[in-house]
Chains A and B, each alone.
Chain A
């Protein structure tokens, strides 16, 4: 990070482009292969995610959904393949991308409060050593308000419910004010109220021209929540608009059994 990345924002901010213009590719994945030990977890994935979509990644357990996100974000090192964000290597475009990890991936007994966790979203733009100040605090408070958690800002994070913890993670990503959001199962283990609150925020993000990519488990809600979908099971099965490709044929190919999902028209 640092000065170099700030220059990049000028060159390639997605805000220069009209949000819904057809043909702009926000994320492009080429020949991505990831393997733990010998067995490939992801095999030769090519993926183009258009700007401004709200996309679900679906697939059975062990299909590599979380791995795909982690490999795109550079958390895992792929054995082959490349990722570009708005036609530039991911390394140079980090500040355009925000990540919401699974909430089970951290220890919530860590000694800190909700506001502090949300404030971590500003660390990337701050860069090394510089401490967050009033400006960063204000941004964090705004994000907390957006997810309806302002009243809990001073709450010790272990005293938050699962749904509240998920919202804190979401707020932390919102603070980054990114163009592309990657979320790993944000609906896992949250109640209906939180699920609706989260999906409303995701839809707002899409309305603002952001691209949102979500690892999702509940097939029933795919047509209702998302407009784009990627079927994944080690290989990419299909990707495209929900209304065109979310059908029994692709579900069967992905999940291996004869799948019957009644699709709402």
Chain B
């Protein structure tokens, strides 16, 4: 199937359109909220919340006997919130560090959820089949009402974020200071955390308990590489998340039997890898290039400085000296010498070198220039 054909299909085919819209909105809202989780160093919180939601799904099914996704997600929401507040409680009331608390809640809730799932599967109820889709998600089960729910929550989340932008920002940067300014930090904190829980629960049906945290972290981690502004980071994370949804759905729809959730997560992973390598200011590639260039410049400067040191002892600064005087400790190689010649700093004559006037001046200004650059 070629691309134009696929695009046409997205607009005409009900199922594909619903799934694409759903995964796009989901990617945008998780990317947005994921920025906050990453900056609060709560990357693992998403993982804990999504796993903690599983018993809620099972209990909601046991109580209502219905497989309506909204009912199950309300169960997930409640148990996700309970897990989150237990984590907070453990951290504030005991000696345990937050990674321990997260791990503990994650595995306890997930274990309990799995137990309930196996219990449900043994029930003589034909309706029970398919609950385990919440483990890895199944985008194909999305219907229009699910997309509406996602859109409404995203809109709500956007409105709250814009309203409390200033408060979110200062809490993320310096919580103690925020308290001294008279803000109720607990309220801001609960607001942020509740929306993170909500976004995760929304994604369970599509991406599943196990992979959900990647939707939260990957777009945010990728976005951080490209910008030094919080608003830009949140915006980019939403864009990356949305595109992960679009591309992930497209790939899984055009290749048979590829499950959508993992593909979306992998696409988001590609964004991360690309950003880590190619970001101009923080990326590995440009960092390495800058490193090599700096080292070359430094070698050049060292050779020049050494030449200056020798030349300064003579009345005539362009008095020729033998190349043998130079050695590797001063950063001398044939390459650096040639570069100095190219810059017209040095004049070569057989195996003798001499500093030119411009070279001598450049060398005398070398250190004063460097120290002003340092501020």
Interface of A with B (CB < 8 Å)?
Answer: 1, 5, 37, 70, 73-75, 94-95, 97-99, 101, 105-107, 110-113, 117, 120, 123-124, 126, 128-132, 156, 172
Contacts and interface: CB of A to CB of B under 8 A. Distances in A.
Nearest to A121: B181
Given A106-B174, A111-B233, A128 B180 contact: no
Given A111-B224, A113-B228, A106 B181 contact: no
A130 B167 CA distance: 10
Interface in B138-175: 163-167, 169-170, 172-174
B315 interface: no
Interface string B32-45: 00000001010000
A110 B173 contact: yes
Contacts of A111: 39, 224, 227-230, 232-233
A123 B166 contact: yes
Given A106-B173, A112-B228, A112-B230, A94 B180 contact: yes
Contacts of A112: 169, 173, 228-230
B163 A117 contact: no
21 contacts: A73-B180, A75-B176, A75-B180, A94-B182, A98-B180, A99-B177, A101-B174, A110-B173, A111-B224, A111-B232, A112-B228, A117-B173, A120-B169, A120-B173, A124-B182, A126-B166, A128-B183, A129-B164, A131-B165, A156-B228, A172-B177
B176 A70 contact: yes
Question: By CB atoms of chain A within 10 A, which of B170, B177, B224, B228 has the most?
Answer: B177
A1 B173 contact: no
B170 A120 contact: yes
Given A101-B176, A112-B169, A123-B166, 6 more contacts: A37-B95, A117-B173, A123-B183, A128-B167, A130-B166, A172-B177
B179 interface: yes
Contacts of A123: 166-167, 170, 178, 181, 183
Nearest to B224: A111
A88 to B, nearest CB: 14
A1 B181 contact: yes
B346 to A, nearest CB: 35
Nearest to A76: B176
Nearest to B39: A110
A131 B165 CA distance: 9
Nearest to B234: A111
B186 to A, nearest CB: 12
Contact of B174 (A70, A74, A105, A124): A105
B177 A101 contact: yes
A110 B177 contact: no
Contact of A124 (B39, B163, B176, B181): B181
Interface of B: 39, 41, 95, 163-167, 169-170, 172-174, 176-183, 224, 227-230, 232-233
Contacts of B164: 128-129
A16 to B, nearest CB: 22
Contacts of A124: 180-183
A40 to B, nearest CB: 17
A243 to B, nearest CB: 32
A106 B336 CA distance: 43
B228 A1 contact: no
A172 B180 CA distance: 13
Nearest to B176: A75
B76 to A, nearest CB: 31
A129 B179 contact: no
Contacts of A75: 176, 179-180
Contacts of B227: 111
A117 B169 CA distance: 10
Contact of A74 (B95, B172, B180): B180
Contacts of B41: 107
A95 B7 CA distance: 58
Contacts of B183: 1, 123-124, 128
Nearest to B231: A111
B89 to A, nearest CB: 16
Given A1-B183, A156-B228, A105 B170 contact: no
A200 B183 CA distance: 31
A110 B172 contact: yes
Nearest to A73: B180
A1 B182 CA distance: 6
Contacts of B39: 107, 110-111
A113 B176 CA distance: 20
A255 to B, nearest CB: 28
A112 B169 CA distance: 10
A129 B228 CA distance: 23
For the complex of A and B, list the 6 residue pairs with the smallest distance between their C-beta atoms, beginning with the closest. A124-B181, A1-B182, A156-B228, A99-B180, A94-B182, A75-B176
Question: By CB atoms of chain A within 10 A, which of B176, B180, B232 has the most?
Answer: B180
A95 B167 CA distance: 17
A155 B274 CA distance: 26
Nearest to A124: B181
A59 B181 CA distance: 27
Contacts of A113: 228-229
A87 B340 CA distance: 72
Contacts of A128: 164, 167, 183
Nearest to A120: B170
Given A112-B229, A131-B166, A132-B166, A95 B182 contact: yes
B283 to A, nearest CB: 15
Contacts of B228: 111-113, 156
